[in-house]
């Protein structure tokens, strides 16, 4: 072959090699682009959102556009996993009310904690400072222990402990079906509410309340809106009495608020930590959600001296405060104890207190129990409600014991009113009932009185005037003795009327003197 031919062959070979190289690079580029496109698609598919629909068509659209993760039973909503373009399509759909991003939540405790062994918890159950501050032992002495009240702990889970029993529960996180605690926060919170009164370790505020573990937070103490909503949905379906939420977010989720309103409408009590983002120069509302909403009891933290802790979120949304610094409670290992700090620790004190009140006043509505909680609170800070302490420190106050004679007298007056429907009897019964302290008996009497107040009343005919008899003197004397003994308004008012009706004289003056001594 000539030299010229060989040179031409070499040129042709170089051209072919170049074409192969270019083709290879193009293929690699296309492959890389395809890989990137696949990654993008995958990221879009992993996007989790909450879809609230208006009607059946909206629900169908959500089901078609993404994978349904959970169908809510309480509200018209689905949690779905969908691509970005499908999410945007749902946002534009007229049958969809809204699409919410999956907001994040976190537990509300400070990072520092001290693990304690059983031997050095430091005090017996009844003298633990936080329990003593709330006067909880006074309730236990009267048999008020929160027995059979169902309290859900929406948290990182709850691990059964030698000092704590768990009635049941659920997990709404995606990596486990177990409600066991892999963080420690939930077990600590549950112990504050209902650790057993067994003479060792520590005791919860309501030692006989039933604890339900609702795991909605992960091992790092983090959670999502979808998991929290699913947890609250479970609480509604399983008819919890009280729900403790020692976690918070800065996101004002309209769907979460709707769920909270549904819970309140169904008579459930919601207690949440106010948050740990406060300062000692608090000038605005730093209470986080869900505690910030009116339907939720927002709880701040105080120390052993009943002073607001520096971190406790405060403001117009704050309702009450409770112990929240160096609180000893159950640890997730099932045998030891740990001291933790935060509004997360304050909230369960209030949940426990509500469990006590619910046992004591079983006929009370959630609204009435909440009012009773506020009424019994010890005012702290500025007089009346203030932004640092709300209505004050929650505590248990002994209910006044109503004498049997008083109850019998009211019952007799009500029977006369029910039989004769005379305004004299009805007015008298109303006055006597309203003078009673808040109690089950008062509620029962009021239920009997209400129908009488709604129906036409017969005016009593005036009785002829007669001279006072020995019976009048006897009635005045007996009623005055009851007033002196029990100091109840119902007796004091009646005694005064009976005495005033007596003729002037030494006997009347002596009875009036004794009556005036009661006023002092």
The residues near 299 (Cβ < 8 Å, ≥ 6 apart) are 271, 272, 273, 274, 291, 319, 320, 321, 322, 343, 346, 347, 349, 350
What H or E segment, with its residue span, contains residue 17?
helix 3-45
Question: Apex CA 170: angle with CA 168 and CA 173, to 5°?
Answer: 155
Q: Which residue segment(s) compose the domain that 488 sits in?
A: 404-519
**Same-domain check for residues 115 and 91:** no
Catalytic residue among 344, 349, 351, 387: 344
* 66: CATH: 3.30.70.80
Based on C-alpha coordinates, what's the Rg of the chain? 34
pLDDT on residue 274: 97
In a domain, 390, yes or no: no
Q: Is the dihedral of CA 59, 62, 63, 65 positive or negative?
A: positive
Backbone angle region of 209, left / alpha / beta, with phi > 0 → left and psi within -120 to 50 → alpha: beta
What CATH number corresponds to the domain at position 326? 3.40.50.200
**What does each of the 520 residues of the chain score in pLDDT, given as a tens digit?**
444 444 455 555 455 545 444 445 444 444 444 444 445 555 556 789 999 999 999 999 999 999 999 999 999 999 999 999 999 999 999 999 999 999 999 998 776 566 665 545 555 555 689 999 999 999 999 999 999 999 999 999 999 999 999 999 999 999 999 999 999 999 999 999 999 998 888 999 999 999 999 999 999 999 999 999 999 999 999 999 999 999 999 999 999 999 999 999 999 999 999 999 988 776 678 999 999 999 999 999 999 999 999 999 999 999 999 999 999 999 999 999 999 999 999 999 999 999 999 999 998 999 999 999 999 999 999 999 999 999 999 999 876 677 787 888 889 888 888 888 888 888 888 988 988 877 778 889 999 999 988 887 666 555 444 455 676 787 788 788 888 877 777 778 888 888 888 888 888 888 888 988 888 7
Closest CA to 300 of 281, 280, 282, 314: 314
CB atoms within 10 A of CB 261: 14
Q: Residues 413, 362: one domain?
A: no
Q: 54: which residues sit within 8 A by CB, 6+ positions away? A: 76, 94, 95, 96, 97
- The number of helices, as runs of H, and strands, as runs of E, in the chain is 16, 17
Q: Alpha-carbon torsion 38, 40, 43, 44, what sign?
A: negative
Alpha carbon distance 58, 61 (integer Å): 5
Give residue 50's pLDDT. Answer: 97
Last residue of a domain, one of 329, 358, 376: 376
Q: How many domains does the chain contain in total?
A: 3
Structure tokens at 159: 């691990």
Per DSSP, the three-state class of 338 is: strand
Among candidate residues 79, 161, 185, 351, the one labeled active-site is 185
34 is catalytic: no
Tokens of 415: 């029977």
Mark which of 72, 103, 134 sits at the end of a domain: 103
Task: State the pLDDT at residue 489.
Answer: 78
The answer to whether position 381 is within a domain reads: no
Instruction: With respect to residue 392, please indicate whether it lies within any of the assigned structural domains.
Output: no
Record the tokens describing residue 257, joined without a space.
């608020």
At 225, list the tokens: 């809106």
Structure tokens at 213: 């573990």
Model pLDDT, residue 437: 77
pLDDT of residue 125: 57
Instruction: Give 253-318 as a DSSP string.
Output: -HHHHHHHHHHHHTT-EEEEE--S---TT--S----BTTTSTTEEEEEEE-TTSPBPTT---STT-
Catalytic: 344?
Answer: yes
Q: Does any domain span residue 393?
A: no
Taking the mean position of all CA atoms in its chain, how far away is CA 136? 18
Domain membership flag for residue 396 = no
Instruction: Specify whether 91 is located in the same domain as 116.
Output: no
Both 306 and 234 in one domain: the answer is yes
Question: Cα separation of 327 and 189, whole Å?
Answer: 10
HSE at residue 510, side-chain half, CA atoms within 13 A, is 7
Exposure string over 92-106, b if 16+ CB within 10 A, otherwise e: ebeebbebbeebebb
DSSP per residue over 373-426, as a string?
A: HHHHSBP-SSSSSBTTTBT-B----PPPPPPHHHHHHHHHHHHHHHHH-BHHHH
Looking at the structure, tell me whether residues 302 and 368 fall in a common domain: yes
Instruction: Please tell me the predicted confidence (pLDDT) of residue 21.
Output: 44
Q: Are residues 95 and 112 in the same domain?
A: no
480: tokens are 């005055």
Q: Nearest CA to 263 among 224, 234, 300, 236?
A: 236
Retrieve residue 122's tokens: 């430091």
For 470-485, b/e burial (b = at least 16 CB within 10 A) is eebbebbeebbebbee
| Helix (H) or strand (E) segment spanning residue 69 | strand 67-71
DSSP 219-236: TTSEEEHHHHHHHHHHHH
SS3 39: helix
Query: CB within 8 A of 367, min separation 6: which ones?
Result: none
Same domain flag for 210 and 294: yes
- 356 shares its domain with 438: no
Q: Is 395 within the bounds of a domain?
A: no
Q: Residue 345's beta-bridge partner residues?
A: none
Residues 357 and 430 in one domain: no
Residue 19 resides in a domain: yes
Query: Is-catalytic flag, 155?
Result: yes
Residue 516: strand, helix, or coil: helix
Q: Are residues 7 and 26 in the same domain?
A: yes
**Is residue 384 domain-resident?**
no
Last residue within a domain, chosen from 81, 103, 125: 103
Same domain, 225 and 236: yes
Q: Which of 155, 182, 227, 233 is catalytic?
A: 155
Q: At a CB cut-off of 8 Å and minimum separation 6, what does 70 contact?
A: 78, 79, 226, 230
Residues 121 and 97 in one domain: no
């Amino acid at each position: 072959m000539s030299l010229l031919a060989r040179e031409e062959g070499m040129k042709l070979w170089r051209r072919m090699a170049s074409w192969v190289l270019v083709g290879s690079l193009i293929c690699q580029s296309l492959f890389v682009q395809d890989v990137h496109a696949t990654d993008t698609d995958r990221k879009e598919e992993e996007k989790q959102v909450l879809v609230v629909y208006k009607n059946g068509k909206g629900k169908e659209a959500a089901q078609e556009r993404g994978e349904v993760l959970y169908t809510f039973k309480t509200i018209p909503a689905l949690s779905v996993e969908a691509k970005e373009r499908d999410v945007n399509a749902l946002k534009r759909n007229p049958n969809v009310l809204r699409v919410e991003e999956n907001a994040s939540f976190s537990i509300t405790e400070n990072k520092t904690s001290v693990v304690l062994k059983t031997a050095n918890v430091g005090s017996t159950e009844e003298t633990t400072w936080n329990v003593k501050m709330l006067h909880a032992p006074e309730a236990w002495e009267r048999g008020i222990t929160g027995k059979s009240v169902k309290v859900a702990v929406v948290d990182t889970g709850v691990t059964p402990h030698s000092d704590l029993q768990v009635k049941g529960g659920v997990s709404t996180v995606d990596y486990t079906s177990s409600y066991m605690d892999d963080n420690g926060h939930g077990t600590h919170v549950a112990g504050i509410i209902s650790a057993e009164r067994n003479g060792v370790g520590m005791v919860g505020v309501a030692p006989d309340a039933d604890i339900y573990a609702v795991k909605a937070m992960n091992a790092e103490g983090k959670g999502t809106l979808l998991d929290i909503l699913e947890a609250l949905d479970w609480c509604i379906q399983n008819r919890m009495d009280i729900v403790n939420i020692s976690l918070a977010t800065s996101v004002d989720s309209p769907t979460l608020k709707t769920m909270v309103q549904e819970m309140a409408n169904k008579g459930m009590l919601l207690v949440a930590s106010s948050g740990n983002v406060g300062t000692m120069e608090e000038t605005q509302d730093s209470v986080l959600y869900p505690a910030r909403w009116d339907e939720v009891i927002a709880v701040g933290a105080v120390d052993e001296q009943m002073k607001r802790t520096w971190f406790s979120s405060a403001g117009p949304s704050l309702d009450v405060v409770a112990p929240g610094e160096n609180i000893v409670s159950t640890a997730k290992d099932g045998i030891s104890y740990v001291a933790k700090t935060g509004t997360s620790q304050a909230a369960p004190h209030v949940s426990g207190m509500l469990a006590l009140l619910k046992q004591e006043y079983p006929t009370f509505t959630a609204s009435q129990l909440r009012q009773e909680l506020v009424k019994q609170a010890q005012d702290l800070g500025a007089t009346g409600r203030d932004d640092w302490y709300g209505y004050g420190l929650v505590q248990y106050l002994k209910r006044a014991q109503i004498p049997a004679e008083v109850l019998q007298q009211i019952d007799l007056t009500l029977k006369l009113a029910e039989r004769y429907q005379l305004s004299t009897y009805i007015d008298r019964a109303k006055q006597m009932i309203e003078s009673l302290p808040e109690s089950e008996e008062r509620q029962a009497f009021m239920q009997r009185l209400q129908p009488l107040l709604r129906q036409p009343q017969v005016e009593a005919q005036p009785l002829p005037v007669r001279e006072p008899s020995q019976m009048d003197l006897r009635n005045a004397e007996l009623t005055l003795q009851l007033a002196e003994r029990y100091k109840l308004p119902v007796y004091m008012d009646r005694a005064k009327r009976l005495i005033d009706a007596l003729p002037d004289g030494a006997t009347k003056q002596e009875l009036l003197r004794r009556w005036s001594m009661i006023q002092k």
